[in-house]
Structure 1
Amino acid sequence: MLSVDLLPEGTVLPKYDRSALHKRIVHFGFGAFHRSHQAVCTDILAAEQHSDWGYCECEINPANTGELIKALRQQDLLYSVTEKADSGLKTRVVGVIKEALYRHGDGIEKIIDAMCQPDVAIVSATVTEKGYCYQPATGELNLDNPAIKHDLANPEQPDSLPGIILAAIKRRRALGLPPFSVMSCDNMPENGRVTRNVVIQLAEQQDQALADYIRSHITFPSTMVDRIVPAMTPEAFEELSGKLGCSDPVGVECEPFFQWVIEDNFVSGRPAWEKAGAELVADVLPFEEMKLRMLNGSHSLLAYLGYLAGYEHISDCMDDPYYLKAARSLMLDEQAPTLSTKNVDLVAYADSLIARYQNRAIKHRTYQIATDGTQKLPQRWLDSIRWHLARGSDFTLLALGVASWMRFVGGVDEQGKTIVINDPLHEQLAQLVNSSAEGDERVAALLSLRAVFGDDLPDNSLFRERVSHYYQKLLTAGAKETVRQVIG
C-alpha cells in the first residue's frame, strides 16, 4: 500500500487542502492513461492554482472486478505517477480524486446518481475506442452492439457508456439541474463528434424530445491527448515498489512528455487546464489528425511488424535501423502530406516522436499497441489511404501496415506460436480467418469487414493488390526481411 512517509525525497506530494475539492468531474475509465494524464494536469492546478476541481472516478467495464478502485480506496484515494526517462525518475502523488465507484461493487444506479450531483459540470471518458459502441468506418452508433441492444430494451438500467450518459442527462433534465459537458479523451478523430453522435442517436431511439434537448444544451468538446503510458505488469509493479520504497497497486509509469489539446466548448465551466500545460483551442481536428496519423499510425506499424518480428517493445524496434527508417518514412512521406495542420514543423515533430520511441526507460509493449485493431485502423491508416488513392500518390507503408495487421490477426506468429487476439470483433475475425485459405483469400475475407474498411476500400483494385502483395511478402520473407526490402 502507498505510504507517503516512505516515498523518496523529491516526490511531489498533494500539500493543498483536499477537503476543499468539489466533485465537479465524473470520469469513466480509471486506466493508466487517465491516471498519468488528465488527473495529473488537474492535480497540478490544485497544487499551483488553488483549483477546487475534483474527480469522481467510475469504472463501468463489465469485465472489470474493481480491484484498482478498491486498492485506491484503501490508500485514501491517492496514487503515484512516475515519469521515466533515460536520465532518471520523477514521482508525483495525485490527490484530486474525491470518490471512486465501480459497477460490480456500487452499481450503475449509484454511478448515475453521482453524475446527477449539482456540482458536476463535466463528464469525461478514457474507455478506448470500443467503449463508444460506434462504427469505426462511419462514426455512427452501432445498433447491433450487444450493450446498445440491452440499453434500448432497458433504458433505466443502462449497460453502455452512451446509455449511462444518456440516463444521467435525462435525470438531470427532469430534476431541473444545469447541463454538463461530455468530453472524450480517447484516440478517435473528432472524438467529441463521435461521442455526440452515439449519445444523440441512442436518445433518438428512445425520446426525440430528449435528443433535441441534448442538441441544444449539451456540449461535446473534442480533445487530443498524448503521453506514452505502458500497461503496468507484475514486473513493472515490483520494480516500481523498489524505487518508491513501498508498494502502490494503483501506481503508473509514463514518459515525461505531456500534451493535451482541448476544444474550448464547455457549457457549465471548466478548470483552467491551460495554466497546467494544456492548450485550449477553437478546433482540435488538425492536432488530432497529426497525432493519430503520425504518432499512433507509426506506433501501430511498429506494433504489428515488431510483434511479428519478435520485438517485445517499441524501443526494441528502434534498435533495428530499418524499422526506425520505416516509422519516420511513414510519418513524413505518407502521413504528413494528408494533414491540414498549419504552422507546425512536421519534420521536427517526427524527429521528436522517434526520440520518444527510443526512450528505453519506457517499456511500451508492441502487443499492447496491437490490441483493438479494428477500432484503430480507420483513423490511423485507412483515411490516409483514401487520400492517396484519390490523388494517385504512394501508400506503400500504409498498405504494408494493413497487411501486417492481417498477418497478426491470423493468430499465429512467425515462430508458429498462438497470438491471443484482443479485439471487440475477435469472434468475427476468427470466423473469417478459419473460413479462408492462407493468401489472397485471407486478405479478401478480412477486407469484407465493412465496419472497418467501409464500402469503398474493399472494392478498390489497387488497394486490394497492394495489401495482397505485402501480405504474401510477410508470409514468405517474414516481417524483418520485408521491412528491409521495402525500406532498403
Structure 2
Amino acid sequence: MINRLNSPQLERLPADILLPQYDRSKVRPGILHIGTGAFHRAHQAVYVDDLLALEGGDWGIIGSSLRSKSVAEQLNPQNGLYTVLVRDSARLQARVIGSVLNVLFAAEQSEQLLDTLACAGIKIVTLTVTEKGYCHDPATGNLLVNHADVSADLLPNAIPKTLMGLLCRGLQRRRAAGLAGLTLLSCDNLPNNGRVLKKVLLQFSQRIDPALATWIEESVSFPCSMIDRIVPATTEEDRQFAAQTLACRDEGLVVTEPFSQWVIEDDFIAGRPAFEKVGVQMVSDVTAYEEIKLRFLNGAHSLLAYAGFLAGYQYIAQVVAQKSFVDAVQAFWTMEVLPSVDVPEDFDIEAYQAQLLARFSNTALRHKTWQIAMDGSQKIPQRWLNTLRHQLANNGEITWLVFALANWIRYVRGYNEQGQAIDVQDPLAMELRDLHRQCDKNQPKLVQSFLRIEQVFDVDLVDSQRLSMALAEQLEHLSVDGVIVCLGRLLAK
C-alpha cells in the first residue's frame, strides 16, 4: 500500500519536489485561518510558507473549518503537510507546504477553536469562507438576523455554527482574559471585504453584548484585501497523478496556476509578518485593485461560466477556445467594465486583460464552469451589478451585462438547453427555480420577479425600464435560439 505524505516521508520524496525550507518543529502559531479550503492552501498558506523560509518567526497557521471535517481528515494525518501542484500548459511544479500546523473542525472542537481565538500568540485571523459565509445581505451588507443559524448563535451559551457566532464568542473570551485585540483579515471575494466583515460582526456582537461591540470597534482592525489565484477543485485524477509524482499519496493536494496576487491594506493592530518581502502588495487603499479584479476577472469568469455551461462546455479553457466567447469577453471589458473603474496610473490595463485571457486558456487547470457558477446569488452583486449601475447611470452600454444576467437566470431554472437537469448550488436555488415555475415562460414577468429579489438586486434596479426590456428580450432569444446563436447575433451588431 502506498504511503501517505507526512513529516517522516519528506526525506523520501523525489529530489525535484520543493520542500519547506525551515525547521517546522520551531514554528509557533500566530495566524488562525477560518475556512481552510483549497483556495487558502494554494494562496495565503503559500505566502506564509515563503515568509517562514525567509525569516522564520511565530507565524505558523492553525487552520479551521466550520462546515466540513474533510480538511482536518486530509491534513492532520499528514502533520499539516500538503502539495501544491502549479500547472500551466507548458510546465508543472510540485511543492510541499508546511505552514499549516493543525486543522480544527468547529463542530467537534468548538472549545479548542474558541480558545485559539483567545490565545495571546494569535495576532491575525484570516478568513476564506465564501460570500455566503458572512450571513449577510449582499445588497445592503446587513446581518441576516432571521437566518436560522444566526438566530441559533444569538441564543445564550450557543455553540457557534456561523462565522459571526464564532468570532463574537472567541473575541468575547479574549476580552474576558484581558488580552489585546487582533486583526481580522477577510480574504473573500467581496468589495470592501474588511468593512463588510466589521459591519456584520458589530451588528451581531451588539445583540450579544453592546460592551463587547465597543471593545471590538476599539481593539480589532479590519483591513480590506484583494486575492487572486485560480484554484479548481482537486479531482481523483489529480491525486493519482500526484501519487505517481511524489511516490506517496497526498489527500490534501491542491492544484493551481502560476499566477498569484495578494493586495492588503496595511492596518494590523497587533503586528504582522513582513508580507511585502514575499510579493504581497501592502497599500493604504485596496479599492481600485479590488474593483478591477472583481469586475474584469470575476465578472468575465461568471459570464463565461453561465453561458459556457449552457452551451455545453465543461471547462473554462474549452469556452475561451471559442473565438466568439473571447470576442464577447473583450467587448464586455472594453465597452462596459473599463468605463466603470478607476485604473491606477501605473496599472497596464491592456496587459492585464491579455494576461486574464491567457490564464483562462490554461488547459492544464480544468476549471469547471459548474464550479464557477456556484452561489451566483451571492456573487453577481459584486461581479456585475456595480458595473451595471454605473452604466445605467451614465447611459452606457449594457449589452453584455444583460447577456450575462440572462444566462444566469436561465441557468438557475435548473435544466440546460437539452432539457437535462442542472445541480444548481445556490442559497436561493429553490426560490429561483420557483420563480421560473410561477412565471411559466412569461419573460417580462420573470424579469420583474428576479429584479425584486432584494438579497441580490436591492431596490434600485427593478424600476429601470431599459434594463427590464433588454433582459426580457434577451431571455426570449435564449429560450428560442440558445446561447451560441444569441452570441453570434450580439457580436454581429
Residue 442 (structure 1) aligned to one of 425, 428, 446: 446
**Is structure 2 residue 409 aligned with structure 1 residue 403?**
no
Unmatched runs of 5 consecutive residues or more in structure 1: none
Give distance in 1, aligned partners of 2:159 and 2:129.
19
1:404 aligns to what SS in structure 2?
helix
Structure 2 distance, partners of 1:5, 1:213, is: 48
Contact 1:433-1:445 at 8 Å conserved across structures: no
Deviation of the 1:327 alpha carbon: 1.3
Bigger shift: residues 67-76 or 154-163: 154-163
Taking the aligned partners of 2:421 and 2:154, their CA distance within structure 1 comes to: 38
2:466 equivalent to 1:480: no
Aligned twin of 2:474: 470
Aligned partners of 1:30 and 1:59 also within 8 Å: yes
- Find the partner of 2:418 among 415, 418, 426: 415
TM-score (norm. length: structure 1): 0.97
Partner of 1:459: helix, strand, or coil?
coil
In structure 1, the residue matched to 2:241 is 239
Aligned-pair distance for 1:10? 1.9
- The normalised TM-score by structure 2 is 0.96
SS of 1:219 mapped into structure 2: coil
The count of corresponding residues between Structure 1 and Structure 2 is 484
Partner of 1:358: 361
Superposed counterparts of 1:321-470, under 5 Å: 321-343=323-345, 344-440=347-443, 441-470=445-474
Cα deviation, 1:223-266, whole Å, max 9, x if unaligned, reads 00000110112222223323333221100010000100001101
Percent identical pairs in the alignment equals: 39
Greater Cα shift, 18-27 or 97-106: 97-106
Q: Following the alignment from structure 2 to structure 1, what is the Cα–Cα distance between the partners of residues 202 and 62?
A: 24
- Partner of residue 7, structure 1: 13
Shift of 1:5: 4.3
- Where does structure 2 lack aligned partners over 5 or more consecutive residues? none
Q: Secondary structure at the match of 2:62?
A: strand
Aligned equivalents of 2:255 and 2:57: distance in 1?
25
Deviating more after overlay: 32-41 vs 203-212: 203-212
Q: What is the rounded CA distance, in whole Å, between the counterparts of 2:353 and 2:140 in structure 1? A: 28
Q: Name 1:21's counterpart in structure 2.
A: 27
The structure-2 alpha-carbon separation of the partners of 1:210 and 1:52, relative to structure 1 and needing over 3 Å to count, comes to: closer
Give the match for residue 46 of structure 2: 40
Separation (CA, whole Å) in 2 of partners of 1:234 and 1:139: 38
326 and 8 in structure 1: CA distance in 2 versus 1, 3 angstrom threshold? farther
Describe the shift of the 1:105–1:207 C-alpha distance in structure 2 as closer, same or farther (beyond 3 A): closer
Kept in 1: contact 2:17–2:246 (CA 8 A): no
Residue pairs, 1:262-341, within 5 angstroms? 262-341=264-343
8 Å CA contact retained: 1:155, 1:163: no
User: Displacement of 1:71 after TM fit?
Assistant: 2.4
Q: Secondary structure at the match of 2:213?
A: helix
- Equivalents in 1 of 2:313, 2:442: separation in Å? 24
The whole-number CA distance in structure 2 between the counterparts of 1:5 and 1:17 is: 13
Shift of 1:466: 1.2
Deviations 1:324-350 (A, max 9, x none): 111122122211111123112211111
2:97 maps to 94
> Once structures 1 and 2 are overlaid, which stretch shifts more, 160-169 or 328-337?
328-337
SS across alignment from 2:85: strand
2-structure distance, mates of 1:237, 1:444: 46
1:83 and 1:98 mapped to 2: Cα distance? 22
Q: Distance in 2 between matches of 1:227 and 1:323?
A: 22
Deviation at 1:443, TM superposition (A): 2.4
Residue identity matched to 1:306: G
Quote the Cα distance in structure 2 between the aligned partners of 1:124 and 1:155.
25
Written as runs of structure 1 = structure 2, the 5 A alignment for 1:133-212 is 133-154=135-156, 156-212=158-214
* TM-aligned CA deviation for residue 186 of structure 1: 0.4
Mapped partners of 2:93, 2:43: distance in 1: 15
Runs of 4+ residues deviating >3 angstroms: 5-8
- In the alignment, the residues of structure 2 paired with residue 155 and residue 448 of structure 1 have an alpha-carbon distance, to the nearest angstrom, of 37
- In structure 2, the residue matched to 1:251 is 253
Is the Cα–Cα contact under 8 Å of residues 332 and 350 in structure 1 kept in the other structure?
no
Aligned-pair CA distance for 1:222: 0.6
In structure 1, distance between residues paired with 2:106 and 2:153: 15
In structure 1, which of residues 70, 83, 89 is the aligned counterpart of residue 73 of structure 2? Answer: 70
Per-residue Cα deviation, 1:109-161 (whole angstroms, up to 9, x for no partner):
22111111110101111010000001111112111221111112245422210
- Indicate the residue corresponding to 1:57 in structure 2: 63
Confirm or deny: 8 A CA contact 2:79 2:102 kept in the other structure: no
User: Could you report, residue by residue, the CA deviation over 1:164-196 in whole angstroms, capped at 9, with x for unpaired residues?
Assistant: 101111111111011011011000000001100
Any conservation in 2 of the 1:439–1:471 contact (CA below 8 Å)?
no
SS across alignment from 1:58: strand
What is the CA–CA distance in structure 1 between the aligned matches of 2:236 and 2:442, rounded to whole Å? 38
Kindly provide the amino acid, as one letter, of the partner of residue 353 in structure 2: A
Please, what is the CA RMSD of the aligned residues?
1.3
User: Equivalences for 1:86-125 in 2 at 5 Å?
Assistant: 86-106=89-109, 108-125=110-127
Does structure 2 retain, via aligned residues, the 8 Å contact 1:304–1:366? yes
The alignment partner of 1:209 has SS state of helix
Matches of 1:416 and 1:9 in 2, distance apart?
Answer: 51
- What is the alpha-carbon distance in structure 2 between the residues aligned to residue 439 and residue 228 of structure 1? 38
CA–CA distance in 2 between the matches of 1:432 and 1:402? 15
For the Cα contact (< 8 Å) 1:155–1:167, is it kept in 2?
no
